[in-house]
Amino acid sequence: DGDNYKELFGALDNAFLVAYAIGMFIRRLPLRYYLSGGMVLSGLFTALFGLGYFWDIHVLWYFIVVQVCNGLVQTTGWPSVVACVGNWFGKGKRGLIMGVWNSHTSVGNILGSLIAGVWVSSAWGLSFVVPGIIIAAMGIVCFFFLVEYPEDVGCSPPLHHVITSNEGPLSISGQSSANRSDGPKEPAEEPEAISFLGALRIPGVVEFSLCLLFAKLVSYTFLYWLPLYIVNVAHFSAKEAGDLSTLFDVGGILGGIFAGLISDYSGGRATTCCVMLVIAAPMLFLYNHVGQNGIGTSIAMLIVCGALVNGPYALITTAVSADLGTHESLKGNAKALSTVTAIIDGTGSVGAALGPLLAGLISPTGWNNVFYMLIAADVLACLLLARVVVKEVRGWCGYMARKRGSSVQLTESVLDGK
């Protein structure tokens, strides 16, 4: 209840997000144990944060230590789940499939906001204890039922891409399609996990990682500061602001699916991200200036901004990570997918840590300056993808030129009577 409450909130958010970013680069255990153990520990530390209310703890360091521990153990989540889904689905409709699947993050944000809103004005400790119990219980479910690889239950692995040879098409594992489908396979020697530097050499990893840094900066600033912004600017109650802020995540669901669908059909992951980021910048400016002029305008602007901000973020952390983690240069190293995902999301988490921290420092000077910072981050995210976008556009131009050349040759052959 002091005048410096914004700075204190910023310190708590930053403690969690810095620990999360650091934890992303720690070597991982087998996915099922890593994920389920992390979920149970996440539940423990989340509950401990809420128990500070019931234990009447008013020491800031207690909450910061709990946030750091929580940030470290929650790094078990994203690389594990992206790797598992990437193991099951090939590249064909990966953007759409992962766009739909990725909606779980926004659903979780919505449920988290609604659960927190129930007790935020009464016993706020329950806003942390209840979600902690939920994630710990689901961690136990994952331990008993998660299947990491299709081969573990007798299913054929997906084709991430096709490599041609003199003996016919081969899968990424180097086995012919006939060999893959006929009977059980002898266990092959598992490749070693790819090194950090080896993952950075994969084309596109550096660009998408740095782009995600700024895209996640914008997304997490909204996630942490949007309810407070709505309270201060639109003068809603804390519960109403929490409920209204969930519309940003509703837009995120639509944006993630739309981005995945467009990138599947166009084949341009980077171009899709870049276009959405370019449109997002003026939309953020409009939301700050006209977004609070009536409840209808606020709802529409929140959904549109959520779609444009979270669409590229969702695409990079799912389909793009899976594409890069199954790059043909890896020669079927399934363990590389988790490493690449961790590098991309870990770099993005640096932005996620910076965003709320900068918002806490800038907000006392006015919310306009916070939005200018977010717009600048969007523009930088777009610029960092310029090289990949140019490469995709050249690929499209080359394809169209070859297509026109084939059409001309066919026409000439018909006219010549061949």
Measured CA distances, 374 to 187, 352, 368 (Å) = 50, 12, 10
- Write the pLDDT tens digit of every residue in 107-131: 888 888 788 888 887 889 999 999 9
Concatenating the DSSP letter of every residue in 143-175 gives HHH----GGGGTPPPP-S--B--TTS-B-TTS-
Longest dimension (CA), the chain: 91
Q: The whole model's pTM is what?
A: 0.72
- Write the pLDDT tens digit of every residue in 139-153: 999 999 999 888 888
Amino acid making up residue 385 = L
Amino acid making up residue 174 = G
Q: Say which residue the tokens 């790797």 belong to.
A: 83
Please report the sign of the dihedral spanned by the C-alpha atoms of residue 128, residue 364, residue 309, residue 378.
negative
Residue 414 has pLDDT above 70, yes or no: no
- Which sequence spans correspond to the domains of the chain? 4-146+196-409
How would residue 167 be classed by pLDDT, with cut points 50, 70 and 90? very low
Domain 4-146+196-409: top CATH class:
mainly alpha
Q: Which two tokens stand for residue 2?
A: 């002091």
Concatenating the DSSP letter of every residue in 342-370 gives HHHHHHHHHHHHHHHHHHHHHGGG-HHHH
pLDDT score recorded for residue 145: 93
- Write the pLDDT tens digit of every residue in 205-249: 889 999 999 999 999 898 888 888 888 887 777 777 877 888 898
Residues 298 and 294: their CA atoms lie apart, in Å, by 6
